[in-house]
Amino acid sequence: MAQQDSVLDRILATKLIAIVRLNSADQLLQVAEAIAAGGIDIIEFTLTTPGALEVLQKASAYFGDRVVLGAGTVLDSETGLLAIQAGARFIVSPILNLDLVRLCRRYSVPALPGAYTPTEIMQAWEAGADLVKVFPAETLGPAYIKAVKAPLPQVRLVPTGGISTENARTYLDAGAVALGVGSSLVDAHLVHAGAWEALQLRAQNLWSAVHRGAISDLQRA
């Protein structure tokens, strides 16, 4: 369980999971490098990206402990096992699949199943979820997170969907323990153009917004 706790501690400290969903796996490594350089060292490769598992294995060896890599859009335990074998150190799903949660518990890998209603959220938590992904968060908003946390203060919620630099802090103030951030961070046009410095700046701006940090030299540039 030590490894599982270590990964959880890093997610809770960073408060951000960068979600990388691309049309091709060709640039996954460069994207991860830029995001990590911007200060976000928790990165999820979604399995809707063709070839993501192969790159996940290479990226895990490349980054080592410098970056915590996970697999997202995992829909079943069979795929979850393949992701863990490829080096995923946490597993994220948009749905609640109890077999997948049990698999993660078996291998001491943090599970972040998706849930929407209070009933689903509690089912995920009671099944052994380490964090519960509230998805899609943009249809609910920070007020929903605050409302759910009132009767369920023990559940660690990770809103995902529609999170941006502008609203990230609001979700955390409402009670979220971390945030899943995708398209507002990993802009498809920047990736296509190979604009890695711009992507790094986005990551740094998001990190600063979440942690209320001082503006860095990179931001001032």
Options 133, 138, 149, 197, the catalytic residue: 133
Residue in the block written with tokens 């380490």: 130
133 is known as an active-site residue: yes
Catalytic, out of 15, 44, 120, 138: 44
Residue 61 sits at the vertex; the CA angle it makes with 58 and 62, to the nearest 5 degrees, is 85
Catalytic residues: 44, 133
